[in-house]
Amino acid sequence: MKKRTREHFIIDGYNVINAWPQLIALRDNLSYARDQLIAAMAEYGAYEGYDVTIVFDALFTVQEETKEQVNEHLVVIYTGEGETADSYIEKLAYDLVRRGREVHVVTSDGIEQSVILGAGAYRMPSLELCRAVAKVKKKIHEDYTGPHVLPLNRRELGGRIDVETAEKLDKIRKNNK
């Protein structure tokens, strides 16, 4: 049986920051907003089993492209001098699709969406990803803090048995004193 390849999400970083309400509020501190997006995508990608590349424009800098490997499945790219995030995303999407990968490009830029559809990738608007991330965050919270977690009281058995059984055990305990 052939192992299924991981889907690949390519995120237009600043497009997402300027679309998600919780990140719009952080635009005065772009570094912090980027960190929040990276953390959210690391969690989302890990939970869903996706490879993720987040691309940020560095168009007006004189620096070279920077690549930061956050973990095995998450890469952050800061484009180099004269390159837009859109052009980087287009090339990456085209390359990954040619190699047989299922690619989802996250941007709300209409022109960019048309270009990547032509390359064979799927498009996802930034707010749709916001909703998907919120849904996963809620699911993680439910999975790891749901009713299966032991109560924080000292009467642990009482939290796991029905009231009638607890009363019978209490009666037995009192009779044995």
Q: Are residues 154 and 125 part of one domain?
A: no
Q: Give the model's confidence band at 3: pLDDT under 50 very low, under 70 low, under 90 confident, else very high.
A: low
Reading the block at residue 5, the tokens are 């390849």
Reading the block at residue 161, the tokens are 């048995």
Evaluate whether residue 3 is within a structural domain.
no
Evaluate whether residue 2 is within a structural domain.
no
Instruction: Output the CA–CA distances (angstroms, integers) from residue 12 to 48, 136, 142, in the order listed.
Output: 19, 20, 29
Q: Are residues 81 and 67 part of one domain?
A: yes
Q: Are residues 51 and 133 part of one domain?
A: yes
Condensed to tens digits (0 to 9), the pLDDT of residues 129-148 reads 999 999 999 998 888 776 65
Q: Are residues 86 and 31 part of one domain?
A: yes
Report pLDDT for 19: 95
Q: Are residues 19 and 97 part of one domain?
A: yes
Following CA atoms 124, 52, 18, 20 in sequence, which dihedral angle do they give, to the nearest 10 degrees? 70
Domain count, the chain: 2
Of the spans 21-25, 156-160, 172-176, which averages the highest pLDDT? 21-25
Q: Taking a C-beta distance cutoff of 8 angstroms, is the pair 113, 105 a contact?
A: yes
Q: Are residues 78 and 29 part of one domain?
A: yes
Q: Are residues 156 and 111 part of one domain?
A: no
Q: Are residues 97 and 155 part of one domain?
A: no
Q: What is the domain range of residue 163?
A: 147-177
Q: Are residues 171 and 140 part of one domain?
A: no
CA distance 143 to 1: 30
Report pLDDT for 4: 64
Q: Are residues 159 and 139 part of one domain?
A: no
Task: Find the mean pLDDT for residues 4-30.
Answer: 92
Reading the block at residue 8, the tokens are 């690949």
Condensed to tens digits (0 to 9), the pLDDT of residues 108-132 reads 887 777 788 888 899 999 999 999 9
Q: Are residues 170 and 131 part of one domain?
A: no
Evaluate whether residue 39 is within a structural domain.
yes
Report pLDDT for 95: 95
Q: Identify the CA nearest to 17 among candidates 78, 106, 138.
A: 106
Evaluate whether residue 64 is within a structural domain.
yes
71 beta partners: 74
User: Which H or E run includes 17?
Assistant: helix 13-17
Q: Are residues 52 and 17 part of one domain?
A: yes
Task: Find the mean pLDDT for residues 54-69.
Answer: 83
Evaluate whether residue 28 is within a structural domain.
yes
Q: Identify the CA nearest to 137 among candidates 55, 46, 33.
A: 46
